[in-house]
Structure 1
Amino acid sequence: MRLQTWRFSVEVVGYAQTSQVNEEEYELLRIYVRPEYHKKGIGKGFIEEYIQVLKPIKKLFAWVAKENHSGRAFYEKSGFKELEEKMKQ
């Protein structure tokens, strides 16, 4: 498991955590950026950093609720594509 934080000056403004699923796949477990730092490229920066650091990564995936429109928009803008839909009871 890998946890990464971003700082602005001395203040932590966000974090992201991944877990290795197998040799070529990682799951993005959580990503958080403080609201006042939204839309500044920090979240996308986390994803780009993971892709660079975790080479030879072939797949980085995340689970996002269908009704989480802002989360889905963020992942789509970051290059993610919907692969499957799961339902829970």
Structure 2
Amino acid sequence: MMKRRLENSHLFVAEIEDQIVGFANFSPIKYQNEAELGAIYLLPEHQGKGIGTALLQRGITLLEGVRKIYIHVEAVNEKGKRFYEAKGFAALEKFEEDFEGHMMQTVKMVLHV
């Protein structure tokens, strides 16, 4: 299952002057027309420059036929939640999950495209 998921994932990398400054990864999920945004990560000094938005838009453009994109964000990650809300994501639910032995509060968000 993990192998199939990796084979179907889309990874986008942002580079500036031959240095990787961030990435985003998208994976189709079992329901037709839906995908999961695993993460958008940027080096702190490159945040707030439109790179994350460009990575998100690239994924939306290339995921033909996708109508919903989901992401899980740590509940305490206010900056991340604001970013996704500004892009049109809405909170669906908040739940607690075990992340390698650490319990964390997570917010599941969705974007209708």
Q: TM-score, normalised by structure 1?
A: 0.91
**Higher strand residue share:** 2
Structure exhibiting the larger radius of gyration computed from Cα positions: 2
1:62 paired residue among 64, 71, 79 = 71
Question: Tell me, what secondary structure is at the counterpart of 1:55?
Answer: coil
Question: Tell me, what secondary structure is at the counterpart of 1:64?
Answer: strand
What's 2:10 paired with? 2
- Equivalent residue letter for 2:64: K
- How many percent of aligned residue pairs carry the same amino acid? 33
Measure, in 1, the Cα distance between the counterparts of 2:44 and 2:74: 19
* Structure 1 unaligned regions, length at least 5: none
**Deviation of 1:87 (Å):** 2.5
- Equivalent residue letter for 2:89: F
| Structure 1 residue 12 corresponds to structure 2 residue 20 | yes
Count of aligned pairs: 89
Measure, in 1, the Cα distance between the counterparts of 2:60 and 2:78: 24
| Structure 1 residue 50 corresponds to structure 2 residue 59 | yes
Q: Report the RMSD for the aligned CA atoms in angstroms.
A: 1.3
* Structure 2 unaligned regions, length at least 5: 1-8, 98-102, 104-113
